[in-house]
Amino acid sequence: MVTTKQLYYALAVEKTLHFKKAAEHCNISQSALSTALSELEKQLGLQIFERDNKKVLVTPVGKEILDKARSIILQVGELQHLADEQQSPLSFPISVGVIPTIAPYLLPKLFPVLEAHYPQAQLNVVEEQSHVLVDMVKRGEIDTAILAMPFPCEGLLSLEFWQEDFYWVALKGDKHTNQKEITSNELTHSKLMLLKEGHCLKDHILAACKLPDQTANHGFGATSLNTLVQMVLGKIGTTLIPKMALEQLTLQNETLSTVHLSEPSPHRRIAFIIRPNYTRMSSIEALIELSKSSL
């Protein structure tokens, strides 16, 4: 009889295309994993993987089998979640994805509050870009994710819990730093630097400012807000950051000025995303309330 454990092992091999790495991911020996998958193929009468000493490939029929396996594993997980839901919120481990422009600024505030209200809670955090997290939620690899909206999340539910604006960061004494507000037109002459392609914050800033992509970065593409602020300190240019990052990135440096972006608010919205049939809603609702109280 085919077991869910065999299907789980097969999906691990599909993900890594490497039997040793898949075995490590599943916390079993490579020989045990190989034996389980050989038995699975024997039971099905089909070859799922082509393998030799150098590589592993998924066969065409194997792709169909693994798609079905993924659906089965997801449904089994939802069945377990349904049972878990009868327990108190956050009484079972929950995996949460968070994008890099939120994780460093929300999580240090969230975890102490979480510990105070739910000392038994276990959050497993994955930091990734938005498109990766959306795919992980859809595939059932994580329970939920915290994203900045708008972002394409077809087939998923979004539960908004926070709204915020952007602030221009420049060295004191620069033009416009004595203002309380700055317009997008004024930004076009400020050597604006943003995150590189793939980070949704860049898209949100360009949309809020109604700026074309080529107006920003000036040949420099960063992967973190901290890097951008350091470049401002190095007199390379200026940048925009969300409100939740202000305290951590700028308030401790007296040489920096921050000016509110004078464009229609909010400039971005923060939300949890979940699958429509996700059953552990009490845990998500608890995380939403804790996140709101943390910010």
Q: Is the pLDDT of residue 36 over 80?
A: yes
Q: How confident is the model at residue 215 (pLDDT cuts 50, 70, 90)?
A: low
Q: What is the mean pLDDT of residues 267-283?
A: 92
Which pLDDT tens digit goes with each residue over 134-186?
Answer: 999 999 999 999 999 999 999 999 999 999 999 999 999 888 889 999 998 88
CA distance 7 to 29: 16
Q: Where are the beta strands (DSSP E) in 137-180?
A: 144-149, 157-164, 166-171
Which pLDDT tens digit goes with each residue over 216-239?
Answer: 555 567 889 999 999 999 999 899
Q: How confident is the model at residue 187 (pLDDT cuts 50, 70, 90)?
A: confident
Residue 160, both tokens = 């908004």
Q: Are 145 and 273 in contact (CB under 8 A)?
A: yes
Residue 275, both tokens = 């699958």
Q: How confident is the model at residue 86 (pLDDT cuts 50, 70, 90)?
A: low
This prediction has a pTM of 0.72
CA distance 230 to 20: 41
Sign of CA dihedral 99, 101, 105, 106: negative
DSSP H helices in 139-196: 184-187
Name the percent of the chain lying above pLDDT 70: 95
Pairing of strands 238-242, 157-164: unpaired
**By three-state DSSP, how is residue 11 classified?**
helix
CA distance 84 to 67: 26
Q: Is 28 exposed, middle or buried (0-12, 13-18, 19+ CB in 10 A)?
A: middle
Q: What is the mean pLDDT of residues 89-112?
A: 94
Domains of the chain (ranges, CATH numbers):
4-84 (1.10.10.10), 100-162+269-294 (3.40.190.10), 166-264 (3.40.190.10)
**194-203 CB burial, b ≥16 within 10 A, e <16:** bbeeebbbbb
**By three-state DSSP, how is residue 250 classified?**
coil
